[in-house]
Structure 1
Amino acid sequence: MNSKKKIPPFPELIAGTSRSAIHLEMRDAYLPDNPNFLKWLETGSLDHIDFTAWRRTISDAVARGVVFRRARIVSEPIGDYIRYEHALTELYNIAAGEQVRWLPRRQASDLALPGNDFWVFDDRLIRFHHFAGDGSIVEDELCDDPAVVQLCVSAFEAVWERAIDHSEYKPV
């Protein structure tokens, strides 16, 4: 793995993607100071969030033929942050063109999973996300080692196979 590589902005990574982008999320909380999350906690509304940039980035790539799949492994009963993610998935992820599935953590006990959340672009490049214990971002890391790419792709596919489509997942 090479943490010395400059990490391009996410839209640049997507612009260089031609076939697929997969994303595995395994934490129960992210970004504790996220103003959108805090406002949602306060109001229960998502009206304050501007989804335009994300939708444009993803939908432009989908129009070029890129398939986006996101899988989330979650503990149940879910906490506030996962309730927030579930609430915004339809407007944020699905509306942009992503496919999203959810896997209750108890159904992942026998799966070999990498230690960090990640994106894999075109089965060739990984962007690992490193978080602090409270869910704040520490750093991202790029990796193009074929063995690590294969590990992440295999882990994602195992999760995807078991996971429940967003339209059918009812959080506990």
Structure 2
Amino acid sequence: MVERTLEQHLAACTRSALHLEMRDGYTLNDPDYHAWRTGHRIDLNDRSSWWRPWLQNIVDASARGVQVRRARIVSEPISSYIRYEYDITVPNVRAGEHVRWLPRRQTTDLALPGNDFWLFDEEVLLVHHFSGEGDKVGSETITDPRVVTFCLTTFEAVWERAIPHDHYQPL
């Protein structure tokens, strides 16, 4: 089987794309993150300053009727990187993603997978693997119904508890 990229999976799905994020930092050497740390902020009134190709993928999926949901489990007080993600999430929402935040302390009784993932159409799981520094080191596609069902059930439990982006007040 030829491995698909995240973008190819998203382009192929027809109903839903669910994304669970559980780390407190990703790609800490990201130039945009470093610019943010030195005071750069996106200007929501200047679309060209924040638009990026990924957002077009979300717009296209939403236009096909795909419901795109992202849930982020975060430690509080939040890390600098999560503050950055929070600050740059409005463009994702404007593109059509539904984003929610769940403080990690509210997950103690949930069975969580060990890795972040995307789940497409409740059938295809794309699991991401990261280094300790938050750099993506690989991914794998899983279609085993038991694993897919576990991740779907987990996502829905997180989603039910999580706070919509426009109501979340990070600590």
Return the TM-score normalized by structure 1: 0.93
1:30 to 26, 31, 44: 26
Secondary structure at the aligned position of 1:29 is classed as: coil
- Cα RMSD over matched residues? 1.4
CA separation of 1:79 and 1:142: change in aligned 2, threshold 3 A: same
- Determine the structure 2 residue equivalent to 1:103: 102
Return the offset for 1:63: 0.6
1:66-97 CA-to-partner distances (Å, cap 9, x unmatched) read: 00000000000001000000000012x10110
Q: Does 1:151 align with 2:147?
A: no
Whether contact under 8 Å (1:36, 1:49) holds in the other structure is: no
In structure 2, runs of 5+ residues without a counterpart are none
1:7 to partner: Cα distance: 2.9
Give the gaps of 5 or more residues in structure 1: none
One-letter amino acid of the counterpart of residue 42, structure 1: T
Q: Distance in 2 between the 1:129 and 1:38 partners?
A: 23
1:137 to partner: Cα distance: 0.9
Would you say 1:90 and 2:86 are equivalent positions? no
Within 5 Å, which residues of 2 pair with 1:57-96? 57-91=57-91, 93-96=92-95
Residue range with higher mean Cα deviation, 35-44 or 101-110: 35-44
Distance in 1 (CA, whole Å) between partners of 2:6 and 2:170 is 29
Aligned to 2:133: 134
Count of matched residue positions in the alignment of Structure 1 and Structure 2: 167
Task: Please report how far the alpha carbon of residue 50 of structure 1 lies from its aligned counterpart in structure 2 after TM superposition.
Answer: 4.3
Q: TM-score, normalised by structure 2?
A: 0.93
User: Matched residue of 2:38: which SS?
Assistant: helix
